[in-house]
Amino acid sequence: MSSRRSVLGLIAGGAAGMWCGLPGLAFAAVPSERRLVVVLLRGGMDGLSAVPAIGDPDFRSARMGLAPDPASVKPLDGMFALHPRLAALAAMYARGELAVLHAVATPYRDRSHFDGQNLLESGAEAPYVRDSGWLNRALAGLSGAGGRSGGIALNTGMPLILRGSASVTSWSPATLPGPDQDTEQRLAQLYARTDPRLADAFSRAAMANGVAARPGPGGRAFSGLMEAAARFLKQADGPRIAVVESGGWDTHVNQAAEAGPLANNLASLDRGIDALRQDLGVLWDRTVVLAVSEFGRTVAQNGTRGTDHGTGGAMFVAGGAVRGGRVIADWPGLKAGQRHEGRDLMPTTDFRSVALGILREHLGLAEQQFANVFPAARPVRPFEGLVHDRSG
């Protein structure tokens, strides 16, 4: 990591003050009790609304009508605060279980959702050059992941981030009555003889249905999915990695509204992460949740009191395993000249290095796997010191 980085908002709840230059941690064995939940915030979360930089002298003028009432936000330190609807995350921060990263971006620098999400999930440097996801490649590179589903997507379809050669599955709440077992077996045999892809998907679904007999409250609502994720992650032989998706972050219009989509989405994210924490119980101490969006949004508000597609944004790393209670940002500033192309928050931290740091410190991904997980012209270096060194 570059030494010019400054750490803003160090320390709460007794977390260590140093985050960089820590001695290398030992990762002998894959810690099989560790869990990782990746939350994909589709649509481009406005990082400056979720985590306003209230201490930046240019914040109010740059944000105009989008700047929050200073009394309403939840201050983290002199510089940053959390959106009023992120109450549970604020409590996690106070307990040292939440690290906030700001001015983060993938290598993507254009402004298409679909390309941006493709890059966020594929881990490549250009859209549509890889048809597998970085999380699946990481799973494939972890020893002991074979033979069972290492990852699960809480979705009807399989998101790109989890596609690839490693064994994964997907599940979402059922809404139709179930067929009888004999028909199921006959169909499984028929697929085995006629269509390997259908056969594979069908057998994974059958296995997942066995685990998830108890449908969670809330159906497809985000916190319901997080509760379901907790149930899967608690299974002794279940997946260690879950991917949960949340949509509707593309706030072009009226995004500061108190009961608007952004506020609702943030509240829903907050509720969902907290539901996961409660449902995981003691396992929370060995869990990392990484919530990230394909890009941030413009610094200034647009003509319809929203923001347009931008670049740098904010990202949450939560969990009992996280060395939290701090905001990590190499803050670029908000003046027009300090912005990316004059309009977006300048990205100063590479999302991939954060993800790689978590894969390495939390799940024990070996260094020789790095280039496979995030293929890059210049190797991505893992962020250090995000996760507590706890045995097992």
Partner 1 sequence: MSAQAVIAANRFGLGARPGEIVAIGGDAHGWLRAQLVPERVLPAPFAALPSTGDDLAEFQKWLADLAASGRAPQTAMEAGVSDATPARATGVESEFRRRFAPRYAAALKARFGVAINTTRPFFERLVHFWSNHFVVSGTKPSAVALPPSFERDAIRPHVAGRFVDMLLASSKHPAMLVYLDNVNSVGPASQVGRNPDLRRAFAAQAFIPARGTGLNENLAREILELHTLGVRSGYTQADVTNFARVLTGWTVARPPRVRGAQLAVRRQSAIGLFDFDPDAHEPGAHVVLGRAYAQQNEAQGEAVLRDLVRLPVTAEFIARKLARHFIADDPPREAVARLAQVFLDTDGDLAQVGMALIDLPQAWAHSQRKFKTPEEYLVSSLRALPGLELDGTQLASAVTALGQPPYRAPGPNGWPDVESEWLGPDAVWKRFQWANETARRAAASVPDPEWLALDVLGASLGGETRSAIQRADSAVQGLTLLLASAEFQRR
Touching partner 1, residues 267-306 (CB under 8 A): 268, 301-306
Report yes or no: 66 and 49 within 8 Å, Cβ to Cβ. Answer: yes
Least CB distance to partner 1 at residue 381 (A): 28
85-104: contacts with partner 1 (CB under 8 A): none
Beta bridge partners of 290: 38, 317
Q: Between residues 23 and 179, which has the closer beta carbon with respect to partner 1?
A: 179
Among 213, 259, 282, 377, binds partner 1 (CB under 8 A): 259
Closest CA to 328 of 132, 93, 169: 93
Least CB distance to partner 1 at residue 253 (A): 6
Least CB distance to partner 1 at residue 338 (A): 18
Report yes or no: 40 and 161 within 8 Å, Cβ to Cβ. Answer: yes
Q: Between residues 6 and 189, which has the closer beta carbon with respect to partner 1?
A: 189
Number of residues that bind partner 1 (CB under 8 A): 77
Q: Between residues 179 and 392, which has the closer beta carbon with respect to partner 1?
A: 179
Q: Between residues 72 and 156, which has the closer beta carbon with respect to partner 1?
A: 156
167-226: contacts with partner 1 (CB under 8 A): 169-172, 174-179, 182-184, 186-187, 189-191, 193-195, 197-198, 201-202, 204-206, 208-209, 217-222, 224
Least CB distance to partner 1 at residue 125 (A): 14
Least CB distance to partner 1 at residue 103 (A): 20
Q: Fill in the per-residue mask, 219 to 248: x = in contact with partner 1 (CB under 8 A), - = not in contact.
A: xxxx-x---------------------xxx
Least CB distance to partner 1 at residue 343 (A): 8
Q: Between residues 264 and 348, which has the closer beta carbon with respect to partner 1?
A: 264
Among 32, 254, 348, 369, binds partner 1 (CB under 8 A): 254
- Rounded to an integer, what distance in angstroms lies between the CA atom of residue 104 and that of residue 113? 16
- Rounded to an integer, what distance in angstroms lies between the CA atom of residue 134 and that of residue 235? 24
Q: Between residues 249 and 351, which has the closer beta carbon with respect to partner 1?
A: 249
Amino acid identity, position 96: G
Structure tokens at 195: 């269509």
Closest CA to 49 of 12, 102, 98: 102
Measured in whole angstroms, how far is the alpha carbon of residue 299 from the centre of its chain? Answer: 22
Q: Fill in the per-residue mask, 123 to 152: x = in contact with partner 1 (CB under 8 A), - = not in contact.
A: ----x---x---------------------
Closest CA to 44 of 128, 125, 116, 127: 116
Q: Between residues 155 and 369, which has the closer beta carbon with respect to partner 1?
A: 155
Which stretch, 8-16, 264-272, 286-294, 324-332, contacts partner 1 (CB under 8 A)? Answer: 264-272
Which stretch, 11-19, 82-90, 258-266, 347-355, contacts partner 1 (CB under 8 A)? Answer: 258-266
Q: Could you give the dihedral angle defined by the CA atoms of residues 293, 297, 301 and 307, in that order, rounded to the nearest 10 degrees?
A: -60
Structure tokens at 307: 């923001």
Among 25, 87, 148, 155, binds partner 1 (CB under 8 A): 155
Report yes or no: 358 and 111 within 8 Å, Cβ to Cβ. Answer: no
- Residue 27 binds to partner 1 (criterion: CB under 8 A): no
Which stretch, 15-23, 45-53, 262-270, 321-329, contacts partner 1 (CB under 8 A)? Answer: 262-270
Q: Between residues 27 and 202, which has the closer beta carbon with respect to partner 1?
A: 202
Under DSSP, is residue 286 helix (H, G, I), strand (E, B) or coil?
helix
Core vs surface per residue 284-321: b (16+ CB within 10 A) or e: bebbbbbbbbbbbbbbbbeeebbbbbbbbbbbbbbbbb
- Rounded to an integer, what distance in angstroms lies between the CA atom of residue 311 and that of residue 343? 9
Q: Using DSSP, how many helices (H) and how many strands (E) does the chain show? A: 11, 12
CB burial of residue 266 (10 Å; 0-12, 13-18, 19+)? buried
Other beta carbons less than 10 A from residue 209's beta carbon: 13
Q: Between residues 171 and 295, which has the closer beta carbon with respect to partner 1?
A: 171
